[in-house]
Amino acid sequence: MNRILSTIVISLCLALSACEDTKNYNTAVYLLLDTSGTYTKELRKAQLIIKFMLSTLKAGDSFAVARIDSGSFSEKDIIAKATFDARPSTSNRQKRDFAAAVDKFIRGVKSSRYTDISGGLLQGREYLNETKAGSKYILIYSDLKEELPAGYKRDFDIPLDGYTVLALNVTKLRSDNIDPVEYLQRVESWEQKVTEGGGKWYIVNDIEKDGALDLANY
Amino acid sequence: MDGAAIGSWIMSQPLLIQILMPVGAVVLLYLGRATVHSLFDAIFLGLYRSLRIASASVAIGEKQLQVRNRAVLLEQGRDQAEREIEREFRRVHHIVDQDLSGYPKLQRTIMEQISSIEEDYKLSESVPPPGPDWIQAIEAVAKLTKKTNGETIGGRVLEEIHKASQKHHAEILEAYREQVRERHHRLDNIKTYWRKLTNTVDEVGTVIQSLLDRTRDIDKRMVTYEEIVAGSDKAERSLRSSSITQFLISFIVVSIAVGGAFINFHLIALPMSETVSGAGRIAGMAVSDFAGMFVILLEATFGLMLMESLRITRLFPAIAALDSKTLSRMVWIFFIFLLAFAFVEAALAFMRDQIAADNASLRQSLSGVAAADEENTINSWIPMAGQMIMGFILPFALAFVAIPFESLLQSGRTVIGHLLGILLRALSTLLRMLAVISRQLGRVLKNIYDLLVTPLLWPERLIANFRGTKSGTYKYAQAD
């Protein structure tokens, strides 16, 4: 009888441990802020996006905000990053610190001469890879006009399989107004780059629309 | 012309091919008719027989289930009736033990009261008034006094005697009145004793009456019990309807309790994430949510154990078999556990309020909205106190779920067994219907086949009928 009971108990324990869900339900978001030229004026609007993300991301999720400048493939460009703790009190404190760090950066930001979006994308991919999150998002807050310094090589494919890339607030430049084809080609080339890398591509220009920033929709 | 030449000539004649092909097909179908019919029979009659066997098996299973259901129902009914009768006998024993055990004392009290009444009554007997001779003597003296008019010595003496007599008479009368007063007073005292006696007798009457009611109740229950033991249909019907009613009521109450548990879960889920930090998941559920649910289930379990120890429920025979001392200890242990969990939940409810306030403050700071004016907001201590009280009470409320849960389990067996019986009966009917359909389908297909070979079948039947008419028998059966 004891053997039978112990067999049953051990089987139950094994079954329970087997029930542990190995799937990762966490979300990781990497937001790239374009700090080149006149786009720095748009950064106030980016604060709304960051605060929205902070209010919606849950325990276990990861969030990082990095700047796009002349050479963005660097950890030094990360303004703030956090993986939110499971404890609500700790998580709230992390979010407050995060918001404060971003505010400080935006107040003192200086515009960069060049725009290395590909480098930022690659850096974001590296960061999100390490988080091992189940859902990975790269948000690009930029006009998508890439200008690389001399000697910088960015003409390679970026593997983005399993990643979702959202281009936010893709403002039109003066030259786009003169020749709209430039804008369309620019957007199309980024879409091609992302989709060829295996990622999903979306453009969200109206960030104030309901559900525009809800990552579950993408 | 050789065969190849004939063949190639035929192939060059499309009209001829169009005529020869269907004719050939009909001939081939006619030649294979018996085989195809056998094939259809093998398939569809086989299916028919299999389905009928399946239907019969299911019907047998259904009958066995009904027999088992009936046995279980009667057993449960008997058990319940025995418990009720036992409870009634216990009550009778309690009445006899407590109320009627003092009967000798009661009898002594009644006898004392009666003795007191008798004594008082004897003492209240009247004292006869002075005899009539003395009165006549006084009257005679009074008359003589009036005749002499008080002038002679004899007359004055007689007058004095008269006065003395009157005085003495007044004294006697006063003494008589005093005695009558005394008698009335004693009779008045008897009233008190009568009242006490009446109350005592009434009490006994009430106790006896309640005993009589109980015995009548026991009689009714014994009749029901005998019917159950005899296994009568009436008893079975009555038990089944009572079981279904019990099941519905228990189901409703347990559903309400589940709702309470759901509310309890939401009360402690958020603070549990602060206490049981961990980003892992079990079966898709966060560990903190799992821990919260586990706490609630544990409270329900302790409540169940408490009810078992108090012998209110009887789900575990092993616990019911324990002696009173052990059960008493178990009652205290489980009560203390429940109390501890109640305090834990109250503390979690308090923490929940703190966390909710922190979350609200974070949302306000992120949205850039200034904190609300405290004077215009609802006092935060009211919802906090409410949550803490609810957190304290809910574990105890959950403990009582054991009672309807036991009822649900017991009546559920009957109801589910009954529903399963209905299901099996429906399945058996369905299988029989499918059997009939498959047989008919076989016949239909055979007829369709025969329709295709009618050009050759019809003359065959004509010939058969002709031969049959000649010999008086039919060689080929009609299409069935």
Instruction: Name the helix (H) or strand (E) containing B461.
Output: helix B454-471
In a 10 Å sphere around its CB, with 0-12 CB exposed, 13-18 middle and 19+ buried, how is residue B350 labelled?
middle
Query: Which tokens in the block code for residue B310?
Result: 């108090």
- Nearest CA to B196 out of B106, B275, B329 is that of B106
3-state secondary structure of A38: helix
Is B281's CB within 8 Å of A21's CB?
Answer: yes
Which of B348, B366, B367 has the most A C-beta neighbours within 10 Å, making it the best mutation to test the interface with A? B366
In the block, residue with structure tokens 């006065």: B163
Is A59's CB within 8 Å of B363's CB?
Answer: no
In a 10 Å sphere around its CB, with 0-12 CB exposed, 13-18 middle and 19+ buried, how is residue B44 labelled?
buried
What percent of chain A has a predicted confidence (pLDDT) above 90?
A: 44
Tens-place pLDDT, residues B232-254: 888 888 888 888 999 999 999 99
Name the packing angle between helices B402-452 and B454-471 (round to 10°): 80
Cβ atoms of B438 and B48 within 8 Å: the answer is: yes
Which residues pair with residue A81 across a beta bridge?
A64
Is A87's CB within 8 Å of B277's CB?
Answer: yes
Q: Which is it for strands A135-141 and B285-286: parallel, antiparallel or unpaired?
A: unpaired
The predicted pLDDT at position B480 comes to 42
Give residues 287 to 316 of B whose Cβ lies within 8 Å of A. 288
> Per-residue b/e over B136-175, b at no fewer than 16 CB within 10 Å?
eebeebeeebeeeeeeeeebeebbebbeebeeeeeeeeee
Q: At residue B477, does pLDDT exceed 50? A: no
Which backbone phi and psi does B152 adopt, to 5 degrees? -85, 160
Tens-place pLDDT, residues B149-183: 555 666 777 778 778 878 888 888 888 888 888 88
Query: Which tokens in the block code for residue B139?
Result: 């009257």
Question: Integer distance in angstroms from the first to the last C-alpha of chain A?
Answer: 56
Residues of B with CB below 8 A from A92's CB? 358-359, 361-362
In a 10 Å sphere around its CB, with 0-12 CB exposed, 13-18 middle and 19+ buried, how is residue B204 labelled?
middle
Q: Give the DSSP letter of residue B41.
A: I
The predicted pLDDT at position B479 comes to 44
The predicted pLDDT at position B369 comes to 63
Q: pTM value?
A: 0.64
CA of A90: which chain B residue's CA is closest? B274
The predicted pLDDT at position B478 comes to 45
Which residue would you say has higher pLDDT here, B478 or B394? B394
The predicted pLDDT at position B35 comes to 95
Of the listed ranges B14-28, B114-128, B224-238, the one predicted with least confidence: B114-128
Residues of A with CB below 8 A from B351's CB? none
Which residues pair with residue A64 across a beta bridge?
A30, A81
What percent of chain B has a predicted confidence (pLDDT) above 70?
A: 87
Of the listed ranges A81-85, A155-159, B145-149, B326-330, the one predicted with least confidence: B145-149
Residues B208-222, mean pLDDT to the nearest whole number? 87
- Provide the shortest C-alpha distance from residue B362 to chain A (in Å): 7
Cβ atoms of A154 and A118 within 8 Å: the answer is: yes
ipTM over 0.90: no
Which backbone phi and psi does A141 adopt, to 5 degrees? -100, 90
Which residues pair with residue A33 across a beta bridge?
A67, A141
Cβ atoms of A142 and A115 within 8 Å: the answer is: yes
Residues of A with CB below 8 A from B270's CB? 88
Give the up-direction half-sphere exposure of residue B114: CA atoms within 13 A in the CB hemisphere: 8
Q: At residue A99, does pLDDT exceed 80? A: yes
> Measured between alpha carbons, how far is B313 from B77 in angstroms, rounded to an integer?
16
Is A86's CB within 8 Å of B279's CB?
Answer: yes
User: In this structure, which topology does domain A25-217 adopt according to CATH?
Assistant: Rossmann fold (3.40.50)
Tens-place pLDDT, residues B60-112: 999 999 999 999 999 989 988 898 888 888 888 887 877 667 777 777 877 88
- Nearest CA to A10 out of B292, B298, B282, A2 is that of A2
- Looking at the partner chain, which of B278, B359, B368 has a beta carbon nearest the beta carbon of A92? B359
> Measured between alpha carbons, how far is A187 from A201 in angstroms, rounded to an integer?
10
**Sheet order of strands, A78-83 included:** A78-83, A62-68, A27-34, A135-141, A163-168, A200-204
Residues of A with CB below 8 A from B359's CB? 88, 92
Query: Which tokens in the block code for residue B365?
Result: 């700071």
Q: Which is it for strands A135-141 and A200-204: parallel, antiparallel or unpaired?
A: unpaired
Is A59's CB within 8 Å of B279's CB?
Answer: yes
Cβ atoms of A166 and A152 within 8 Å: the answer is: no
Give residues 175 to 194 of A whose Cβ lies within 8 Å of B. none
Q: At residue B447, does pLDDT exceed 70? A: yes
- Nearest CA to B235 out of B246, B221, B253, B218 is that of B221
Of the listed ranges A45-49, A72-76, B116-120, B199-203, the one predicted with least confidence: B116-120
Is B366's CB within 8 Å of A54's CB?
Answer: yes
> Measured between alpha carbons, how far is A95 from A57 in angstroms, rounded to an integer?
10
Q: At residue A72, does pLDDT exceed 60? A: yes
> Measured between alpha carbons, how far is A164 from A162 in angstroms, rounded to an integer?
7
Report residue B58's pLDDT band, with 50, 70 and 90 as the boundaries. Answer: very high
Tens-place pLDDT, residues A114-136: 889 999 999 999 999 999 999 99
Chain B contact for A99 (CB, 8 A cutoff): yes
Q: At residue B256, does pLDDT exceed 90? A: yes
Instruction: Name the helix (H) or strand (E) containing B282.
Output: strand B281-282
> Measured between alpha carbons, how far is A49 from A102 in angstroms, rounded to an integer?
11
> Measured between alpha carbons, how far is B170 from B156 in angstroms, rounded to an integer?
21
Question: Integer distance in angstroms from the first to the last C-alpha of chain B?
Answer: 47
Query: Which tokens in the block code for residue B150?
Result: 């008080």
Give the up-direction half-sphere exposure of residue B6: CA atoms within 13 A in the CB hemisphere: 3
- Nearest CA to B86 out of B235, B232, B214 is that of B214
Neighbours of B413 (CB within 10 A): 16
The predicted pLDDT at position A216 comes to 85
Of the listed ranges A8-17, A96-105, B257-266, the one predicted with least confidence: A8-17
Residues A181-185, mean pLDDT to the nearest whole number? 89
Query: Which tokens in the block code for residue A134?
Result: 């189940």
Q: How many CB pairs under 8 A join A and B?
A: 58
The predicted pLDDT at position B330 comes to 93
